[in-house]
Amino acid sequence: MRALVTGGAGFIGSHLAERVLMQGHQVVALDDMSTGDADNLAHLNDHLGFELVKGSILDAALVDDLVEASDVAFHLAAAVGVHLILNRSLDGLRTNVHGTENVLQSAARHGTRTVLASTSEVYGKSTAPILCEDQDRILGSPLVKRWSYAEAKALDETLAFLLFSEHGAPIVIARLFNVTGPRQTGRYGMVMPRFVDLAMRGRPLTVYGDGSQTRSFCHVYDAADGLIALAEQPDAYGGVFNIGRPEEVSIRELAERVIRLTGSASTIRYVAYAQAYGDGFEDTMRRVPDISRARELIGFDPALCLDDIILSIVDEFRLSAWARSGGGAARPARPRAARSGGGRVR
């Protein structure tokens, strides 16, 4: 099987590429390197079944060639991260609407099985205790920049669904909930690597608002396995599936837990949303996925708990600090999650 991974040099894309290769398939990663990093794929470069194509999903001809040559496509390329969406909103909107349109139209034209990475952001400000796929969306004004990401992803979902229902395109939608783990960068506002980095440097952990907003974190190994399983299940096409881990944690508790697990002396600093993101910023207060639909169809059952997730990132930071120091001191242990197999590979 030949798989295309758009956004393959990114956080989730690089793990996904690795896992598909481990199953004995070929992988072509397409990435414009805007938030991705070739280092994420450096260990795959010598693999005969792997190829990195530097280019954009906005290049319709390139996308069409790559999708046509693939048996399956994982569409992960997108402008992501609160900072990026707020600071480069128009570019982000174009990528997330037109880039995705290119990928999905090609998938429909060539009948290529495709998994579209969507997001829990589409649920918007819903405070439902648990979010199931058929939940109504509650979004702020289209003129609030923050929602442009959710708007674009929702439009992508609608396009995927219509291409399936009107043209039989084999596309499945995965709504990802706060996927995290090694290789995620805190540069664009992702909370977990940012907290671990600050804790390990003994700096205050910055919590926006009062920290009562909750999230549910899922390890990237589990999420990648879920995406692969969705691609392999024809009954999933035309459907939408939450992919996440339903353990709810407030951002305040998360900061405390990171401090405890790193043994850090860091404190917690609370910063008003307006100071962090400017006036009028709206956050989502609660986000817990109902994963029963994915559990029933593909047996999705994330293996790694929140402590495992945090520790896998801590281990990664320790390993890279050790490598930067020239490797003089004793080498830190291999990451715990990797040692335990990191979930299942189907």
Which residues are near ligand NAD by CB under 6 A? 6-7, 9-13, 30-36, 56-58, 76-80, 95, 99, 117, 119, 176, 178-179
Tell me how far, at minimum, the Cβ of 85 lies from ligand NAD, in Å. 10
Best CA proximity match to 318, nearest among 201, 178, 238: 201
In the complex, least distance from residue 120 CB atom to ligand NAD, rounded to whole angstroms: 6
Structure tokens at 116: 């579209």
Given the residues 123, 149, 221, 237, the one annotated as active site: 149
Radius of gyration of the chain (CA): 19
Distance CA 288, CA 215 (A): 7
Closest CB 189 distance from ligand NAD, rounded Å: 11
Place of tokens 């280092």: 39
Least Å distance between CB 333 and ligand NAD? Answer: 26
Please, which residue, 229 or 266, has the CB nearer to ligand NAD? 229
Is 149 in the active site? yes
**177 Cβ contact partners less than 8 Å away, ≥ 6 residues apart:** 120, 215, 216, 218, 242, 243, 244, 245, 287, 288, 289
Question: Residue 117 to residues 99, 122, 179, 218: CA-CA distances in angstroms?
Answer: 13, 12, 12, 15
Looking at beta carbons only, is 10 or 124 nearer to ligand NAD?
10
The answer to whether 251 touches 213, Cβ cutoff 8 Å, is: yes
Q: Where does the chain show beta strands of DSSP type E?
A: 2-6, 26-31, 50-54, 72-75, 113-119, 171-176, 179-180, 205-208, 214-216, 218-219, 240-243, 248-250, 268-271
Our CB check for ligand NAD shows the closer of 99 and 170 to be 99
Please give the Cα distance from 203 to 265 (Å, whole number): 8
Nearer to ligand NAD, 79 or 199 (CB): 79
Nearer to ligand NAD, 10 or 226 (CB): 10
**Cβ closer to ligand NAD: 236 or 266?**
236
Least spacing, CB of residue 96 vs ligand NAD, in Å: 8
Least distance in angstroms from the C-beta of 51 to ligand NAD: 15
Which is it for strands 214-216 and 248-250: parallel, antiparallel or unpaired? Answer: antiparallel
Q: Among all chains, which residue has been given the structure tokens 């909930």?
A: 177
Residues serving a catalytic function are 149
